[in-house]
Amino acid sequence: MPPFLYNTEKGGACPLEISAGQSKPIAAAPPKSGIWARFGKNIVERWQLYLLILLPIIYLAVFKYVPMYGALIAFKNYVPTKGVWGSDWVGFKYFIRFFNSYEFVRIMKNTLVVSFYSLLAGFPFPIVLALCLNYVKSKFFQKSVQMITYAPHFISVVVMIGIVVQFLDPRIGLVNLILKAFGFSPVNFMGEPGWFSHIFVWSGIWQNVGFSCIIYLAALAAIDPSLHEAAVMDGASKVRRMWHVDLPGIMPVAVIMLIMNTGHVLDIGFEKILLMQNPLNTSASEVIDTYVYKVGLASTAINYSYSTAIGLFKSVINLILLIVVNRAAKKLGQTSLW
């Protein structure tokens, strides 16, 4: 029987017969390279890149995944001296307690009102600002507006709330001084529950609109200039170019940002809410985060399990909303996270 060689010209391992008079050696089959072998080779060749990504991975593991172990206490009557596994299982006791609480409806209503108000009012403003700045011819004016609008983002929440309180003070606040000058009575904005959501949302827009605008400016810069040239040749105005060229160009980025913002609907900012709260506006300002802090951690009888159960409930709702909005975007033919 004549010897065989492995023919690997077409990527296969089919045998190639050798005639009887030939004396070529028999070549062995090429070694199979598994995924781990390729992974190890990549680490050796590109170790600098893996070293750079190591720190974010460690951060995610330590601060995002390891704390998931602590979520078990939401289903236990957690006693610190007994530990997580030593504490008694109570199932959904604390979830049911939260759902049956007389505060549940008011807290959920306040949280959803502030969250969706912030999302609906704050989402379009960075897009509009980016579209307007994109058509400004003066670079000096454009850079000045950018600097002025995104500078408040770097002001701490404590300082920002202090500024808002001073502006809205019923006696010496600038807003009430203007109202008095026009013959109106002063308004205690921070003490009126009806004003709380408006102050929270619009102060947030003022603080973050410029910083959020940056990502849309980057998306606008990536649009093919030939599309604008063709629109100008067809006689399209700036408004038409915004509508038919710019908005479709940044729509994938806008959809991704909307999906990500929807995933944080119930995370509306604990620090800002707590700093704006006072006994007069609690009926409109008590949200899930502040309720967890007061009932679960700041009360005389600290209840870790109850506060963890509420936090886990909030995270599950955020996850469900993220999945639903992402799937809806995919069904509508838009860009999605996965």
Q: Give per-residue pLDDT as tens, 120-162.
A: 888 899 999 999 998 888 888 888 988 899 889 998 899 999 9
Element (H, E) at 201: helix 193-221
Map residue 4 onto helix, strand or coil: strand
Reported as a single tens digit per residue, the pLDDT across 159-195 is 999 999 999 998 888 999 999 999 888 889 998 889 9
Provide the token pair at 48: 């600098």
Same domain assignment for residues 170 and 300: yes
pTM of the predicted structure, to 2 decimals: 0.78
Highest mean pLDDT among 45-54, 77-86, 108-117: 108-117
pLDDT band at 216 (very low <50, low <70, confident <90, very high): very high
Confidence at residue 69, expressed as pLDDT on a 0 to 100 scale = 86
Beta bridge partners of 4: 17
* Statement to judge: residues 53 and 181 lie in one domain: no
Give the Cβ contact number of residue 267 at 10 Å.
15
**pLDDT at 268 exceeding the cut of 60:** yes
Number of domains in the chain: 2
Q: Give the integer Cα–Cα distance in Å for 150 and 210.
A: 4
Contacts for 161 with CB less than 8 Å, ≥ 6 apart: 272, 275, 276
Residue 106 has a pLDDT of: 92
Q: Do both 70 and 206 map to the same domain? A: no
- At 271-302, the pLDDT tens digits run 899 999 988 888 899 999 888 888 877 766 67
- Owning domain of residue 76: 46-90
Whether 229 maps to a domain, the answer reads yes
Angle at 211 between CA 49 and CA 165, to 5 degrees: 130
Same structural domain, 317 and 187:
yes
Please check whether residues 139 and 184 belong to one and the same domain: yes
Rounded CA gap, 178 and 182, in Å? 7
Rounded to whole angstroms, how far apart are CA atoms 242 and 235?
13
- Encoding tokens for residue 264? 């944080």
Residues 99 and 62 in one domain: no
Determine, yes or no, domain membership for 35: no
Q: Which helix (H) or strand (E) holds 5?
A: strand 4-7
Last residue of a domain, one of 33, 61, 90: 90
Q: Which CATH number belongs to the domain containing residue 187 in this structure?
A: 1.10.3720.10
49 token code pair: 């890149």
Q: 38, 55, 90 — which closes off a domain?
A: 90
